[in-house]
Each structure stands twice: as structure tokens, then as C-alpha cells.
Amino acid sequence: MDYKVVERELELRLVLSPERSVPVPARLSYRTDDPYAVHVTFHINSEHPVHWTFARELLVEGVFRPCGQGDVRVWPTKVDGRSVVLMALSSPDGDALLEAPTAQVSAWLERTLRAVPPGTEGEQLGMDHVLDQLLAQ
């Protein structure tokens, strides 16, 4: 089955303290064969890129209002008058707070939502077909 990839490279900021942040090159990636998830790769040009995967829904909602719990939390805010989306990521290796430009994230999310509209993710996986086969037996 063919699948489509929607990618966008952008510069995030790793927030070290309220006064200090450093740029982190990142790639947002969405694949129609994994329709519920978004993939974020940090330090894309380094020897050891860091990969995170979480629910697309979390990022879609996080652009508008705080959401998520546990390992991934996302919420909108303003920093120096700019609209940004903050992502708090926790893992056994440590925690990170990343800031992404809302306009760039939203534009990319819009492309993913055009590729696979919300509510149609199951069709991408062919689940309906599999269920029909199972129930027909």
C-alpha cells in the first residue's frame, strides 16, 4: 500500500531557563501509514538524532489549549509577543521543554489533516476491511 509523508524542517528552541534558550534544528514528520502519530526528530544533522513519537491529536489540540499528561504535554503561549507552542517531553534520559513557532506547526498540521482528515485514520489502516473479513467468518 502506498503511503504519503508530510514533512517540515524547522528550528525549535530548547528552553534552558526563563531567560535562555538555544536553537534546535528539527523535522516534523507524518506518515499516512501511521495516521494517529506525529514524529519529531531533533538534532537532525547530528550523529545522534533524537526521535519522539506521539499522538497527532495531542499536537492539534495543543496549538489551541493545554493538553497531554505524562511524557508529552503541549500548550500554546506567547513569548516576546510571538505565538509559540510549548512541548514538555519527559523520558528516563531527562526532560526537555521545546518551543515551536505556532504558524509553522499549524501550517504543517493543516497539511497532515488534508492528507488524512480527523476521524478517517482507521480507514488508512484498512481496519474496516480487516474487521469485515473477521466478522464474515
Q: What is the pTM of this model?
A: 0.85
* 9 Cβ contact partners less than 8 Å away, ≥ 6 residues apart: 25, 26, 27, 28, 44
CATH number at residue 88: 2.30.31.20
Longest dimension (CA), the chain: 63
Over residues 42-74, the pLDDT tens digits come to 886 788 888 999 999 999 999 999 999 889 999
Over residues 80-102, the pLDDT tens digits come to 899 999 999 998 888 999 999 99
Domain range for 72 is 5-136
Domain total of the chain: 1
Sign, Cα dihedral of 97, 23, 99, 113 = negative
